[in-house]
Amino acid sequence: MLEVKELHQYYGGSHILRGLSFEARIGEITCLLGRNGVGKTTLLKCLMGLIPAKEGTVTWEGKAITGYKPHQRVQSGIAYVPQGREIFGRLTVEENLLMGLSRFSAGEAKAVPEFIYELFPVLREMKHRRGGDLSGGQQQQLAIGRALASRPRLLILDEPTEGIQPSVIKEIGVVIQKLAAKGDMAILLVEQFYDFAAELADQYLVMSRGEIIQRGRGENMEAEGVQRLVAI
């Protein structure tokens, strides 16, 4: 389980995360919703250690990881699919996926694990193409594949549907559901696409101005008026 307690973060003088607390459980999809600029990506960067938290604690599987560097978080089983994907455009699909294996020893990191190509057959078809030649949706699948290569127990995704065509959004939704159904992974999904989040969420969190302003179970999202809080 991931436990975040009273997290604070600043950019210069602006207070971006204001005492944020929540939990994300193994076997569950936790969807974090919120409008543009409320601090969702900042929160994820804090969880990955890319911008260390100023105050508060992050505990993962019982261990305090608040001071961990990003690579130590990857070592402890956390993987991150950043907003905008950030794949390596000049490397091939296969090379991009191999980058995801960097937490393992050289011997273990030689080949792309088969399960990734099974989840995303298009990546197998395109494995010798350059990442930069893929469509946006294929790049998103590649970014998720690369994150999964590290065999995470916590998968963090930042707006995976942003700018992606509906057919690929559907495929990504199916993969996220499959991963959750295995029951050995916590998934933290940041989304602004309400319907996608509502379909997947076991737990939801609504963020506004650096705080969680509402939370509940996924099946109650409609009854609890979540769409109204996040509609753009």
Ligand X SMILES: Nc1ncnc2c1ncn2[C@@H]1O[C@H](COP(=O)(O)OP(=O)(O)OP(=O)(O)O)[C@@H](O)[C@H]1O
The Cα 139–Cα 52 span in angstroms is 28
Mark the segment that binds Mg ion (CB under 5 A) among 7-15, 33-41, 132-140, 166-174: 33-41
Strand partners, 78: 154
Task: Name the minimum Å distance from CB 184 to ligand X.
Answer: 28
Beta strands in the chain (DSSP E): 2-11, 14-24, 29-33, 55-60, 63-64, 78-81, 154-158, 186-191, 203-208, 211-217
Task: Name the minimum Å distance from CB 11 to ligand X.
Answer: 3
| 140 CB burial (10 A radius; 0-12, 13-18, 19+) | buried
Helices 136-149 + 166-181 axis angle, to 10: 20
Mark the segment that binds Mg ion (CB under 5 A) among 12-20, 37-45, 48-56, 169-177: 37-45
Task: Name the minimum Å distance from CB 132 to ligand X.
Answer: 22
Mark the segment that binds Mg ion (CB under 5 A) among 35-43, 92-100, 116-124, 166-174: 35-43
Q: Footprint of ligand X on this chain (CB under 6 A)?
A: 11, 16, 34, 36-42, 83, 192
N- to C-terminal Cα separation, the chain: 31
In this structure, how many other beta carbons lie within 10 angstroms of the beta carbon of residue 34?
A: 23
Beta strands in 36-171 (DSSP E): 55-60, 63-64, 78-81, 154-158
* Closer of 50 and 98 to ligand X (Cβ): 50
Task: Name the minimum Å distance from CB 231 to ligand X.
Answer: 14
- Residues 65-84 vs Mg ion: string with x where CB under 5 A? ------------------x-
Task: Name the minimum Å distance from CB 17 to ligand X.
Answer: 8
Tokens of 101: 């294996």
The Cα 171–Cα 222 span in angstroms is 23
Among 3, 8, 41, 175, binds Mg ion (CB under 5 A): 41
Strand partners, 14: 11
- Residues 175-214 vs Mg ion: string with x where CB under 5 A? ----------------------------------------
* Closer of 37 and 132 to ligand X (Cβ): 37
* Closer of 11 and 115 to ligand X (Cβ): 11
Task: Name the minimum Å distance from CB 160 to Mg ion.
Answer: 12
* Closer of 97 and 205 to ligand X (Cβ): 205
Residue numbers at the binding site for Mg ion (CB under 5 A): 40-41, 83
